[in-house]
Structure 1
């Protein structure tokens, strides 16, 4: 499948929104499995099983799920090309609220570790590839860097798209210009989760009285995401969880694809220096694609990102 480059649709916002709003996607016949976490919570895993020996594990973006069109599109292409697929849902993202006060965040690699360990425990797969989108890309890179040489040898390749490799400036960029429209949607959804968890959070000392005054991701992360997950504040959370700091330790073939016109990403999210110093990680910056868009004319209903991921993983 020839990839070329994503199509120029005019600007990064159009290239972000058009596939999201207009792309018809085949609904995957997921088999849901619920697994327990060590802290008494649960994760919902959605499988596409065909008895293959190769597995793809997909990590979705902020306030998304395994049902997102970009997740299902990727799952469908890999299913057609000899892979089983596991699209996991972060805590609070599967359609049912999780049990504990914590939910998920950009650096919650402990949950990805639980998912990977579960997928591999029965030795059903000879090889595993990881794909992450946006927040899921950051989480995936952090996980691979933390594990370094200790990453399970069956994990043979990693591919991430639209990854905010430096969380602080990316989160602040989302609070500017047209990006405020996206931010409103994200923060509204996150605030509702706080409301749904009000009893748990109140018992832990969180003040919900000014919840509706939080308008940006840095505001929300400063009041909730950071402190709830063991960080001092939003800056501490961003600094400890930004994947750019973990790239140097990744030991498996890894591809980072961030479009040059991605409206969500600040210039610090393009880790040129970190990749230049790595023997295993490469960075591609196509001129077009937006944020998790990557539409290309002439490829039918397959996104450029899906074809690029399949090509990379096949040859890694």
Structure 2
């Protein structure tokens, strides 16, 4: 059975613009125009807390397949930076997989969604150990005949790193799929500052500052940041986080800590797919072109799609739903 590839995504103008694709992907307009079926994964969803190890608690939502046929397996979805289990793209993908017969688990990373009060230490992108531990807890509590992950942007980066670690952790993961994942964080941060239009950095900073303020409100006895630090640009605020709240010692050491660039993925044992687009204004396509990957990893670069967009038309549905479902179902 054939599965769709990035070359099959051929949107009409003006959706050939990577900027339009990117801006629509997380817009309120898209959420309003989506069909009701795109939010079906919320119906009957069970809000749960999972074990991230060392006292860390992460939240998520589990929705069981309700059809008469046996479940195909468990699909785990990772949102992007400052997204959540209720992000539009997560709901849309989860609803499609649910309709195709999958049980769906949507995981919140630390300090995402409404989880700020659960753990005193701040979220950062190198907290892969707690995500892997949570995956082990999920696999044990909701055992399935197969398990697959799909992640978006930073969630795609986490999905790839989790797949690298899954065999050693004893997690029965069968497949992982990353949509527009962060590959080289240093290059991505530079791209947002220097190459991407100003409003992308402004968008991420606004959401991040709001999240940090929610964290401070949850733990008023902690002094997470000076007010002046919150007014810095993306690079400055990230460096403040690194130096104040991690043991990395430098911004570059931290960025290297969650990079999957170069030959990092050569140790991948689990089948994986990476889908990105040449017109992604957030993650430069050159980072993907320089990857060294084994035969277990499929790299698929579409001509269009923006950053986690791949929106087909006025109904705001995404090509990635078919893409992810086809590859999951093929398992």
TM-score, structure 1 length as denominator?
0.88
2: CA distance, partners of 1:128 / 1:93: 23
Q: Does 1:17 align with 2:23?
A: yes
- Structure 2: stretches of 5+ with no match in the other structure: none
Q: Which residue of 1 aligns with 2:310?
A: 294
Of 65, 89, 92, which aligns to 1:50? 65
What number of residue pairs does the alignment pair up?
311
2: CA distance, partners of 1:173 / 1:11: 18
Q: Which residue of 2 aligns with 1:179?
A: 197
Give matches, 1:125-164, under 5 Å.
125-147=144-166, 149-150=167-168, 152=170, 154-164=172-182
Q: Which residue of 2 aligns with 1:167?
A: 185
Of 54, 79, 82, which aligns to 1:39? 54
Alpha-carbon deviation of 1:185? 2.3
Q: Which residue of 2 aligns with 1:251?
A: 269
Q: Does 1:308 align with 2:327?
A: no
- Does structure 1 retain, via aligned residues, the 8 Å contact 2:117–2:218? no
1: CA distance, partners of 2:306 / 2:111: 27
Alpha-carbon deviation of 1:203? 7.5
Q: Does 1:189 align with 2:204?
A: no
Relative to structure 1, the CA distance from residue 254 to residue 236 in structure 2 (aligned partners, 3 Å threshold; closer, same or farther) is same
Of 83, 93, 116, which aligns to 1:64? 83
1: CA distance, partners of 2:78 / 2:57: 16
- Does structure 2 retain, via aligned residues, the 8 Å contact 1:141–1:246? no
- Say which SS state the counterpart of residue 86 (structure 1) adopts: strand
Relative to structure 1, the CA distance from residue 199 to residue 20 in structure 2 (aligned partners, 3 Å threshold; closer, same or farther) is closer
1: CA distance, partners of 2:219 / 2:205: 17
Q: Aligned-residue CA RMSD in angstroms?
A: 2.7
Alpha-carbon deviation of 1:60? 0.5
Q: For each residue in 1:153-197, what CA deviation from the matched residue of structure 2 results, as whole angstroms up to 9, or x when unmatched?
A: 631111000112000010111123553212222222323333444
Alpha-carbon deviation of 1:99? 3.5
Relative to structure 1, the CA distance from residue 122 to residue 35 in structure 2 (aligned partners, 3 Å threshold; closer, same or farther) is closer
Alpha-carbon deviation of 1:123? 5.9
Greater shift in the superposed pair: 28-37 or 187-196: 187-196
Give matches, 1:199-278, under 5 Å.
208-216=226-234, 218-225=235-242, 227-244=244-261, 245-275=263-293, 278=294
Alpha-carbon deviation of 1:53? 5.0
- Does structure 2 retain, via aligned residues, the 8 Å contact 1:169–1:268? no
Q: Does 1:7 align with 2:14?
A: no
- Does structure 2 retain, via aligned residues, the 8 Å contact 1:137–1:161? yes
Relative to structure 1, the CA distance from residue 303 to residue 281 in structure 2 (aligned partners, 3 Å threshold; closer, same or farther) is same
Q: Which residue of 1 aligns with 2:104?
A: 85
Q: For each residue in 1:56-81, what CA deviation from the matched residue of structure 2 results, as whole angstroms up to 9, or x when unmatched?
A: 00111010001111000100110011
1: CA distance, partners of 2:89 / 2:184: 23
